[in-house]
Amino acid sequence: MNIYVGNLSYRLTEDDLLNAFSKYGEVTSANIVTDKYSGQSKGFGFVEMPTEDHGEAAIKELDGALLDGRNIKVNKARPKGDKPAGGGGGRSRRPPGGGGGGGRY
């Protein structure tokens, strides 16, 4: 099971993340996403656990938990490219109506 972990402290290490999740079962991997240029943490990461039961237990116990001074957000990760429905649209900065133009006669 792939698990998303957000609102991470920028000081948190992958070992810290692994230790927090290993209390709920075997952890296959723990990865904190970093900026490719600066190497700075982006404040979120992913943990992989081999069984759904252990993953669900970790999500239940750790979502909202305090880790390194921050309440972390933990949920089942969506597949890459799977974006929520909706969005788009937005409002134009132009006023409604036709172009017009021309001066007074």
Domains of the chain: 2-72 (3.30.70.330)
pLDDT at 94: 58
Q: Give every CB contact of residue 32 below 8 A, 6+ residues apart in sequence.
A: 8, 12, 13, 14, 17, 41, 42, 44, 45
Please state the pTM of the whole predicted model: 0.76
Kindly report, residue by residue over 14-65, the tens digit of the pLDDT. Answer: 999 999 999 999 999 999 999 999 999 999 999 999 999 999 999 999 999 9
The count of other CB atoms within 10 Å of the CB of residue 24 is 19
pLDDT at 100: 58
pLDDT band at 93 (very low <50, low <70, confident <90, very high): low
The 3-state DSSP class for residue 75 equals strand
Kindly report, residue by residue over 63-78, the tens digit of the pLDDT. Answer: 999 999 999 999 999 9
